[in-house]
Amino acid sequence: MAGQTDMELIKNGIRMDGRKPDELREVKIVAGVLDNADGSCYLEWGNNKVYAGVFGPMECHPRHKQKADRAIVQARYTMAPFSVNDRKRPGLDRRSTEISYIVSQAFEKVVMVEDFPKASIRVDMQVVEAHAGTRCAALTAASVALADAGIPMRDMIPSCAAGKVNDVVVLDLNKEEDNYGQADLPLAIIPSTGEVVLLQLDGHLTPDEFEQAMDLATSGCMELYKKMRHALENSYGGKA
């Protein structure tokens, strides 16, 4: 968050990419795109492009990570070297490690882990093109892939960010807004209960703006949730 900037990112209530403050970028979700994975999803969100694949429940490696009374979720978020303008070095950096970790924990709340003692459920998220909001995109795609794999879950987890640009609270920052904006708040919720399973914040929000951002991100998650279910229905339809 650069924070202070003279850049005009909103003009007459319309953002540079033509969206209103409470509008999502276009989202396209396709379930079941990979043959080998037990479940998979391809998601485009604005210009973000993400693949997610799921294997499991399977034996947990390394052994010392096994839990006697439940499965663990081993999520792994990586960005392709060509997914950003400057080439990213392959492998897990500190940012990817943190995201992988908090996403793993978010899923352990909704997956019926207690049904699969000692097992592992592997969730692999590959960001192949990145334009702000990739962790929300990856988490959303992974939820669909888990459902596509038939992994028992309490619910899916939609994830969406709210943010602040030019002192206005907006939904789903695009790349310029992320670079020159004032705050970014990615959120993931369990739609059926409203529980918060992922929340981060970078930037500057007054207490009132925080409340607005929570409201906006929550409504973004609910909108996304519809698209996720729609994608799964299409997929089942297609398979039938």
Partner 1 sequence: MSNDSVSNLMKGHMESLAKEGKRADGRGINEYRKVKIEIGMISTAEGSAMVHLGKTKVLCGIKMLIGTPYGDSPGSGTMTTSTELAPLADQSFDPGPPREQSIELSRVVDRGIRESRMIDFDGLCIEHGVKVWMVYIDLHILDNNGNLFDCCTLAAAAALSNATIPNIQHGIADKDVKLPINCWPISCTFGKLGDSVILDATSDEESVMSARFTVAHDENGNLRAAQKGMNGSFTDAEIREAVKTARASDNVLREALKGIQE
- Specify the residue, 14 or 193, whose C-beta has the smaller distance to partner 1: 193
In 3D, which of 96, 53, 94 has the Cα closest to residue 78?
96
- Specify the residue, 172 or 184, whose C-beta has the smaller distance to partner 1: 184
For residue 154, give both structure tokens.
């309490």
Shortest CB 45 distance to partner 1, Å: 14
Residues contributing to the site for partner 1 (CB under 8 A)? 1, 3, 34-37, 40, 47, 49, 51-55, 58, 61, 74, 76, 78, 80-87, 90, 94-95, 97-98, 100-102, 104-106, 108-109, 122, 124-126, 128-131, 185, 189-190, 193-207, 210-211, 214, 218
Shortest CB 215 distance to partner 1, Å: 9
Shortest CB 4 distance to partner 1, Å: 9
Shortest CB 121 distance to partner 1, Å: 12
Q: CA neighbours within 13 Å on the CB side: how many for 205?
A: 20
8-41: b (≥16 Cβ within 10 Å) or e: ebbeeeebeeebebebbbebebbbbbbeebbbbb
Identify the burial level of 229 via C-beta atoms within 10 angstroms of its C-beta, where 0-12 means exposed, 13-18 middle and 19 or more buried.
Answer: middle
